Structure 1
């Protein structure tokens, strides 16, 4: 049973997850320089799924997932198939750091979904303030100094795609909680990854793309190995170490990691709009998700995979 204090191993796992699910936006940006979005999805999911397959078999996690395969496939479509290709297409236009921050709006959409499902606590003053602050932060990022997407239809489309990703990521945990509650997460993820990879493989093979560079190829491999397979194994270890309530707290650090990596490694501009919007989005998401409490309500077991 996880204790009330975080062990050294727990802090290491927190740091690993902040990096492993903060760096994908950089790697996606590099991958789509030569690979099509469909090829990035196929390569990443097949590689990640094949690495997780023997672990899932060893833990006997596949059979429960296969019994409920329609819901597992629905989860895979909403958590992986749609978001991964939308992110790949969006990052052909948007900076990786901006993409990472826009995806961080997941708790805002989750609070709205909870309200629509009858959770009246979403109307508490602090959570309502969080929703307003978070979406105000998005407006600042999109229309504020530096990004100026207002006159660029491609950039507006990309922003819409990323916000749709955030909405899909907010919906997926409800499938886990209501339809796959008794299924080991490792089984659901492994089956979903392999199904998505197989579905996208023909599209990837038929999609025109440039000859891959060493940089884009290594980025795609890193997406599959580190940001998918290793990240999920590390996340399961983090749940075991600190419990499911505190495990997803690293997600508040992910957008900061994405922005820093984009600035340092890709030379992306740290715009005024980004600087102003970042604290609004992070604070708004925290208030919307927790209501301002230091000990948040029990969140879904799986944060968004990127």
Structure 2
């Protein structure tokens, strides 16, 4: 029960990240918002590392941390923040959930392995789901939606690159991977700051959104995710991916008044089910591993 509660909590937190980006991306600009996000997260993880007496060895593993920091943090965060200036939180969370689909495609190319019929079916479902969502957004927003939608898809693509890199990367503790890559992301985003200035001085709501995005949705969320990996295993912990759109849609509707249309429901169901096919995940698998963990 505790692991299931952590899973729901993590999904709610990560679903909320799109809400906070939606609030802060336009006034602060993508670069300032993401620099603040990764800086708050890095400081949070630094404090935890002192408490846990973790030795980061950043210089010795700098190349590894910078690769992770680029593809798993800085670049996708910047792309999503850019998209959040135009797209609603629901759309962002659904497009984010395509990351495992991109991971499967990149992995097949990387290893020169043919995809199974189940995976191909999942890919087709995911593509149709994204098409339903993207088509509706483009119709509502017009041509201005093309670049934000492309950026959000490329952000998920970056996560696919990162997941495949991690499989063959140096074997470093997951906590240090998150901590080190977050500091690398801080350094990577700095050069972007002069090119995307702040549009308006942040008020209390914007400042709170940035703080929660960095400390809760990034720093604390990673800690919960690592605990889930220990309790359930990596594959079952990834089931949080399927729950994030549910909370992304809910938070967007609750706090921003975003409409939950039929296209949102149909698109999210197709993407989530398609991702389950691609990853080979099933609810029975989660329950089985949960039972083993509790025994």
2:210 aligned residue: 220
Q: 1:191 aligns with which of 175, 180, 198?
A: 180
Higher normalized helix content (fraction of residues): 2
1:134 maps to 2:126: yes
2:99 aligned residue: 106
Render the CA deviation track for 1:43-98: whole Å, top value 9, x for unaligned: 111111011113234343402x5322112101101111111111111110101111
1:284 maps to 2:277: no
Structure 1 runs not aligned, ≥5 long? 1-7, 297-306
Mapped to 1, the partners of 2:24 and 2:281 lie a distance apart of 38
2:72 aligned residue: 79
Alpha-carbon offset, residue 237 of structure 1 = 1.4
Q: 2:160 aligns with which of 170, 174, 197?
A: 170
Mapped to 2, the partners of 1:142 and 1:251 lie a distance apart of 19
| 2:70 and 2:188 in contact (8 A); partners too | no
2:54 aligned residue: 60
Render the CA deviation track for 1:266-302: whole Å, top value 9, x for unaligned: 0111123212211111111110111779538xxxxxx
Render the CA deviation track for 1:142-164: whole Å, top value 9, x for unaligned: 114xx234872220111100000
1:5 aligned residue: none
Greater CA drift, 206-215 or 74-83: 206-215
| 1:126 and 1:292 in contact (8 A); partners too | no
2:6 aligned residue: 13
Mapped to 1, the partners of 2:283 and 2:206 lie a distance apart of 42
Q: 2:193 aligns with which of 204, 214, 233?
A: 204
Mapped to 1, the partners of 2:39 and 2:187 lie a distance apart of 7
1:235 aligned residue: 225
| 2:125 and 2:271 in contact (8 A); partners too | yes
1:267 maps to 2:257: yes
Where 1:32 maps in the other structure, the secondary structure is helix
Mapped to 2, the partners of 1:198 and 1:125 lie a distance apart of 42
Count residues in correspondence. 284
TM norm structure 2? 0.89
1:27 maps to 2:16: no
